[in-house]
């Protein structure tokens, strides 16, 4: 399942180098990748996870530390097109990917799910399986494609729906440090990633989930987008505030 060569980046463009520079900054700032790391990379087929895979695959060749990546796709069970499309594209570019076939998405939207939101249950089961596969493949880290926009949206979701102030962190410890979840794209904007994908030859694979585009996260991102339009500095200020807070002025 190791990456064989670097044909994945069929068209390196300026936006990719900007993203990769931000990944490098995040790696150093949050100590994301170390020598001898074996990293499971969660691939969904969307622009963010494929950009993450492209960046990590590129770094293998020249990074000052020796690390390995194991791409994994958790199929939610709606159809076979996404799984086969991702696998065929990566195989054509000499990247092996483990595809895990499940019914997590179908079950989350089925009558047996009477209490949880479909997105929560499906996500929880997929995340649990990623941890199990990381253990199976001997990985000490799991890399996910969450961006700066995801971290900000999570902050607002927690405030609005749970009454807490918190977000996803770039380097998160689980099971007493046995495994860590890392988010190398945490300093990158989705708009920059979209620009990279649109100007590359990397395809984006459609999510057949019936809840795609209607989640709380999607709603929050639309709200935040309207907020950003009023002042271009708002987004950066919100992001900075997550590491620049004043406890004495909180209840």
Q: How far apart are CA 41 and CA 141, in angstroms?
A: 9
Q: What is the number of other CB atoms lying within 10 angstroms of the CB of residue 150? A: 20
pLDDT, tens digit, for every residue of 95-118?
999 999 998 888 888 888 777 788
Strand locations in 92-227, DSSP E?
Answer: 98-101, 141-143, 171-174, 179-182
Using the predicted structure, report yes or no on whether residue 175 has a pLDDT greater than 60.
yes
At 129 the three-state DSSP class reads: helix
Query: Residues near 102 by Cβ (< 8 Å), separated by ≥ 6?
Result: 74, 75, 76, 77, 125, 126, 129
> For a pLDDT cut of 70, what percent of the chain falls above it?
94
Task: Tell whether the model's pLDDT for residue 201 goes beyond 70.
Answer: yes
Query: Global pTM?
Result: 0.92
pLDDT digits (tens, 9 = 90+) for 30-57: 999 999 999 999 999 999 999 999 999 9
- Measure Cα distances from 79 to 2, 102, 106, 111, 234 in Å: 26, 11, 10, 19, 40
Domains of the chain, earliest start first: 14-249 (3.40.50.620)
Contact 130, 39 (CB under 8 A): no
Q: Say how far residue 187 (Cα) sits from the centre of its chain.
A: 12
């Amino acid at each position: 399942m190791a990456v064989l060569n670097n044909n994945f980046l069929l068209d390196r463009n300026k936006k990719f180098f900007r993203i990769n520079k931000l990944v490098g900054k995040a790696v150093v700032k949050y100590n994301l990748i170390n020598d001898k790391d074996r990293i499971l990379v969660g691939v969904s087929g969307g622009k963010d996870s494929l950009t993450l895979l492209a960046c990590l695959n590129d770094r293998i060749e020249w990074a000052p530390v020796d690390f390995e990546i194991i791409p994994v796709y958790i199929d939610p069970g709606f159809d076979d097109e996404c799984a086969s499309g991702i696998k065929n594209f990566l195989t054509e570019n000499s990247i092996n990917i483990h595809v895990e076939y499940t019914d997590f998405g179908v079950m989350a939207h089925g009558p047996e799910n009477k209490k949880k939101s479909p997105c929560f249950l499906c996500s929880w089961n997929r995340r649990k399986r990623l941890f199990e596969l990381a253990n199976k493949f001997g990985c000490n880290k799991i890399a996910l494609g969450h961006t700066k926009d995801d971290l900000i949206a999570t902050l607002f979701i927690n405030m609005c729906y749970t009454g807490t102030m918190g977000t996803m962190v770039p380097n998160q410890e689980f099971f007493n440090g046995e495994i860590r979840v890392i988010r190398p794209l945490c300093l990158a904007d989705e708009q920059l990633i979209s620009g990279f994908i649109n100007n590359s030859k990397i395809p984006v694979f459609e999510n057949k989930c019936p809840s795609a585009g209607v989640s709380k996260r999607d709603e929050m991102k639309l709200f935040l987008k309207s907020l950003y339009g009023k002042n271009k500095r708002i987004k950066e200020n919100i992001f900075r505030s997550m590491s620049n807070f004043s406890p004495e002025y909180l209840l």
